Amino acid sequence: MEKIRKKTARICILGMGRVGLPLATVICSRGYRVTGYDTSAERVNSIIEGKNLNGEPKLEILLSKAINSGMLDVTSKLDDTQKYEIYIVAVPTPIQNGKANLNHLKTALKTIGTMLDGRELVVVESTIPPGTSRNLIARMLREKDLVIGQNIFYAYAPERILPGKMIEELTTCNRVLGCFDKTSALLATEFYRRITSGEVDITTPETAEIVKLIENTYRDVNIALANVIARICSYFKVDPMEAIRIANKHPRVNILKPGIGVGGPCLTKDPIILYSQVKDYGYESPLIIEARNVNNEMSSYAASQIDMAIKKYFNGEPLKIAVLGLSYKGGIGDTANSPAVRIAEQLKNMGYHVESYDPYLPEAGSCRSIEECVKGSCCIVIGADHPEFSNLDLEMLRKLTSYEKPILYDGRYIFRPTKVLKAGFIYVAPGYIKA
């Protein structure tokens, strides 16, 4: 406790990916020395060189300061003779055969198991199924003669960060800590209150594990509802965004925005972890799995919409399509489970000539500029809601297409239909078309 308060506690973070790296830089900015460990030497080198930061605002600045000041050491070879007071596990837990694959977590625990000698605080930030802290982590520690609350301390502290706002949310968001005992809770709370200005809730490990999963499941189900509404609206020629906007004026309604589907490393995974874990107990939730199916199908639905619109207005010729934005969400450079990438591939398989551009992923797209991508296209697809796209000069884009009335497929609903129509486009969006 004294070392946490005086900021002399040495911290080791295992996993320098989407969560571990920004977390390490924030902790360093709070005055703690951190060793960041990752099994990938390639990733370690790219971090040291300041590369592959997914366009995350402020991360490059914090990383540069942390490394140059000597507060952050990033390595792929962990020195097991080094003494740390706090170990934070931030490794991925991907889906495999419909369940969470905990191999990375087990490896990380085995790695630190050789370094623990008692009195350390072990924190897991990785997303894990309910019961993992009690049935796996506590058991693995006991194999090292370490008993939580007696000679080792433990907290489950699931990350709560939104790509594009990671640094901001790491330093301001509320945190939940799942602890078995009072001392672990006191130590973890003391530490995390120095990281975030948000509230810190203390609960059981099982509650914290479920909290993390239901947060993303809620969003997935809500987005699925919005997508279902959009498809229902299509049969009555109703603008889904207009219907949702008015419905949300009701004091107890908050429907999210429809779109071409859900991507990213978490939102596509966490509902499946929750669903599969409780299924082992004999309960299946059709709501969760149906929401996943709805959102997964949206990319195919979007490709079908685009194909039908082109056939209707351009006689189905094998024409050029421009996809603007390949990231799974706006403002970042990450294609993890991106529906825009899936749409581009599906359109290619339909025989269209597809070009792509993303300002956050210059190497991923086939074009180096919007102008190059759009030129000669009969259809422009908005695949990611990047801030830069909402201010596009639509009249200029229409002229670049060389078509009198090309199609703009607003896959992220970033434009008002009237604005698109005024610029001379046919407006198409998930569940809506206006010529």
Residues 333 and 171: their CA atoms lie apart, in Å, by 22
Distance of CA 361 to the CA centre of its chain: 16
Record the tokens describing residue 167, joined without a space: 């640094």
On whether the CB atoms of residues 390 and 236 are closer than 8 A, the answer is no
Tell me what pLDDT residue 53 has: 81
Tell me what pLDDT residue 56 has: 86
Tell me what pLDDT residue 82 has: 86
- DSSP output for 375-414: TT-SEEEE-S--HHHHT--HHHHHHHHT-SS-EEEETT--
- Choosing from 12, 28, 212, 379, which is the catalytic residue? 212
Active site residue 266: yes
Residues 188 and 148: their CA atoms lie apart, in Å, by 13
Hey, which CATH number is domain 2-203, 3.30.365.10, 3.90.1150.10, 1.10.150.20, 3.40.50.720?
Answer: 3.40.50.720
Domain boundaries defined on the chain: 2-203, 224-434
Tell me what pLDDT residue 230 has: 98
Query: Considering the entire predicted model, what is its pTM?
Result: 0.94
Closest CA to 78 of 87, 67, 65: 87
Q: Compute the residue count for the chain.
A: 435
Closest CA to 85 of 179, 4, 192, 9: 9
Closest CA to 258 of 239, 286, 285, 235: 239
Tell me what pLDDT residue 316 has: 61
CATH topology of domain 224-434: Rossmann fold (3.40.50)
Same fold, 2-203 and 224-434: yes
Residues 171 and 161: their CA atoms lie apart, in Å, by 10
pLDDT tens, the chain, 435 aa long: 999 999 999 999 999 999 999 999 999 999 999 999 999 999 999 999 988 787 788 999 999 999 999 999 999 999 877 899 999 999 999 999 999 999 999 999 999 998 998 899 999 999 999 999 999 999 999 999 999 999 999 999 999 999 989 999 999 999 999 999 999 999 999 999 999 999 999 999 999 999 999 999 999 999 999 999 999 999 999 999 999 999 999 999 999 999 999 999 999 999 999 999 999 999 999 999 999 999 999 999 999 999 999 999 997 667 999 999 999 999 999 999 999 999 999 999 999 999 999 999 999 999 999 999 999 999 999 999 999 999 999 999 999 999 999 999 999 999 999 999 999 999 999 999 999
The C-alpha R_g of the chain, in whole angstroms, comes to 24
- Choosing from 12, 28, 266, 373, which is the catalytic residue? 266
Closest CA to 79 of 30, 140, 10: 10
Tell me what pLDDT residue 52 has: 74
On whether the CB atoms of residues 102 and 136 are closer than 8 A, the answer is yes
Tell me what pLDDT residue 28 has: 98
Chain position carrying tokens 């971090």: 47
Active site residue 28: no
| Bridge partners for 124 per DSSP | 89, 156
Residues 299 and 184: their CA atoms lie apart, in Å, by 45
Closest CA to 225 of 272, 250, 258: 258
The secondary structure of residue 248, as a DSSP letter, is T
